[in-house]
Amino acid sequence: MIRGFNNFIRLLFVVRTLARYDALFLLDDLERAPFYVKMGRFFLPVFAIGAPSRKDLRKGERLAQALQELGPSFIKLGQALSVRADLLGEEIAQDLGNLRDRLPPFSFEEAKATIERELEHPIETLFVNFDPEPVAAASIAQVHFAEVEDVIAAPTDEDPDAVQTVMRKVAIKVLRPGIEKAFERDLRLFFWISDLADRFQPSFRRLRLKQIVEVLEQSVSLEMDLRLEAAAAAEIGENFAGDPDFGVPTIDWQRTAQRVMTQSRVEGISLSKIEELKDAGHDMEKISANVIRVFLFQVLRDGFFHADMHHGNLFVGEDGRLIAVDFGIMGRMDRETRLFMAEMLYAFLVGDYRRAAEVHFEAGYVPPKKSLDAFTQACRSIGEPILGKPVSEISIGKLLVQLFQITETFEMETQPQLLLLQKTMVTAEGVAQSLNRDVNFWEVAYPTVEAWMRENMGPEAKAAQVVNDGLTFLKKLPDVVSKTDRLLSRLDDEHDFLHGSDKRLGRRNNGSDAGQILMFACGLISGAALTYILLNL
């Protein structure tokens, strides 16, 4: 009861802010809202009295500004909704996609207190030349520059135990004070609103708004523990170890804790500074193609991708190497989802719309009761206008956006992991095109996609997978046998109990029968596993 009242009070504040920005248009689409909600919508503009007119702005721009004012949780919500063109429309989704995660910095005293509490040492003993002015401030954390003194061995002939001090440049990320409680409060509100939407807008149910909030909650919880972000950076670094064209900062684990993360400082030019990149003599076409290559390797090869690949999180070093930062938002895709994405995109781009439709049904994304022929027709309606353009103008991200827009007709449930991938793909594609307008996304992507499909979907891959499945089953055989033996022993004991313990001969016969049954079962299971392997090769 108290929680519901708190949600209601918070909602009034949110509604007031949305009204001031004339961003309450989402309420106009509620089909079964109760009378008092409709009356409230009628009188809500009263909240906007005295607010400047925003009629010159698009709906999405007004909504983005309102969410920016509402704070960190709503900025994250806006970014999550930016992939929902099927729910908000392409224009509003695009405006929310431009919502940048920037907030005023918090004080150096608060940052210092957090660092010292988390690392359990005075800041002066941890860092040298700590800059009290942050270089970046976002909704969850801000970043400071400093240096670290490393004492390393430097033996000489005269002094084998000699050491020397080396200065190392680092960047320190510090969580905002009280950010956990703020997000917890607003996430409760988001869950409450998603429940109301499901009740009063039945068509929203297939959009799985509650699951979207759950994904947001999971993402935010990961961002609240900087040790997990550090681990993500380290994993990406391992995945690209030895890659001459891509790298990530090195984590200083001795100066990293739940609310503080220290990493090597990136020396390079942000991709947002295109003119500086050109003046420095960097090859823009090569960098553009590298952005696409790195993205595809993360998605297809590794199944673990940086889900916030905008200009501000990508840098170019002096040697032309692409460097990524900020691993708070990451995406994972299992092998089955990667196979689906690769085959679906390939089918679209070669014009095989039947196969594009079939993979949706095979993955279970479209209910089997729906017509395969009708869905094939819908896929053609998306693919033909895109494939009718020069190949250099084909937008993979736009293809996915339009595909998700037709899902309502076919009751295709929202797949949160695919929405995150779509958002990242649109962002990466936009970054690549900003560096080189003539970049051919498909031409760059095709060799990577084709090689991955050949390796993972060709005859050799299928045979290897079949054998692996069969061997996995055979590895489980001892446990199956053991469980079967225990079951037969229990049945034997129950038989003795029911028919009398004095029937020893019968019991021995039952035991012998049980052993024969067990041996037969083992042979049958082994034969089935081997037959499965042979028939599928």
Q: What is the mean pLDDT of the chain?
A: 78
- Provide the pLDDT for residue 464: 42
Taking CB atoms within 8 Å and a gap of at least 24, the contacts of 23-31 are 23/59, 23/62, 23/63, 23/65, 23/66, 25/59, 26/88, 29/201, 30/197, 30/200, 30/201, 31/200, 31/201, 31/202, 31/203
- The secondary structure of the chain in percent helix, strand, coil, rounded to multiples of 5, reads 65, 10, 25
Please provide the DSSP assignment of 412-425 as one string: PPP-HHHHHHHHHH
pLDDT above 50 for 22: yes
φ, ψ at 144 (rounded to 5°): -120, 155
- Provide the pLDDT for residue 466: 44
More confident residue, 489 or 330: 330
Please provide the DSSP assignment of 152-182 as one string: EE---SS-TT-EEEEEEEEEEEEEPTTHHHH
- Provide the pLDDT for residue 225: 92
- Provide the pLDDT for residue 297: 92
Q: Which of 314-323, 359-368, 405-414 has the lowest mean pLDDT?
A: 405-414
DSSP β-bridge partners for residue 151: 165
pLDDT above 60 for 295: yes
Please provide the DSSP assignment of 432-485 as one string: HHHH-TT--HHHHHHHHHHHHHHHHHSHHHHHHHHHHHHHHHHHTHHHHHHHHH
383 contact partners, CB below 8 Å, separation of at least 6: 348, 351, 353, 356, 399
State mean pLDDT over 421-440: 83
Q: How many helices (H) and strands (E) does the chain have?
A: 22, 10
Q: Which of 101, 186, 252, 308 is catalytic?
A: 308
| Beta pairing, strands 314-316 & 269-270 | antiparallel
456 contact partners, CB below 8 Å, separation of at least 6: 335, 338, 339, 342
CA distance to 292, 294, 348, 431, 439, per residue, from 428 (Å): 7, 10, 20, 5, 12
For residue range 303-352, list pLDDT tens digits in order.
999 988 888 899 999 999 999 999 988 888 888 888 888 888 888 878 89
- Are 367 and 392 in contact, with CB atoms under 8 Å apart? no
In this structure, what token pair is assigned to residue 322?
């692409």
% residues pLDDT > 70 (the chain) = 72
Q: Which 3 state secondary structure label does DSSP give 209?
A: helix
- Are 173 and 143 in contact, with CB atoms under 8 Å apart? yes
DSSP 251: B
- Are 298 and 239 in contact, with CB atoms under 8 Å apart? yes
Confidence of residue 505 (pLDDT cuts 50, 70, 90): very low
Which range is most confident: 80-89, 227-236, 442-451?
227-236
Query: Does 252 qualify as catalytic in the annotation?
Result: no
Confidence of residue 37 (pLDDT cuts 50, 70, 90): low
pLDDT above 90 for 286: yes
DSSP 29: G
HSE of 38, CA atoms in CB hemisphere, 13 A: 8
State mean pLDDT over 395-419: 71
- Provide the pLDDT for residue 323: 96
- Provide the pLDDT for residue 327: 93
- Provide the pLDDT for residue 55: 65
Confidence of residue 414 (pLDDT cuts 50, 70, 90): low
Q: Which of 143-147, 206-210, 336-340, 488-492 has the lowest mean pLDDT?
A: 488-492
**Domain extents in the chain:** 2-100+188-201, 101-177+225-265, 267-457, 463-536
pLDDT above 70 for 70: yes
- Are 443 and 391 in contact, with CB atoms under 8 Å apart? yes
- Provide the pLDDT for residue 184: 86
Distance (Å, whole) CA 83 – CA 81: 5
State mean pLDDT over 238-265: 95
- Provide the pLDDT for residue 298: 93
State mean pLDDT over 255-277: 94
- Provide the pLDDT for residue 494: 59
**Tokens 């400071």 belong to which residue?**
144
Distance (Å, whole) CA 350 – CA 383: 10
Q: What CATH class has 101-177+225-265?
A: alpha beta
DSSP 132: S
Q: Which of 70-84, 226-240, 355-369 has the lowest mean pLDDT?
A: 70-84
Task: Provide the greatest CA pair distance for the chain.
Answer: 98
pLDDT above 80 for 271: yes
Q: Which 3 state secondary structure label does DSSP give 252?
A: coil
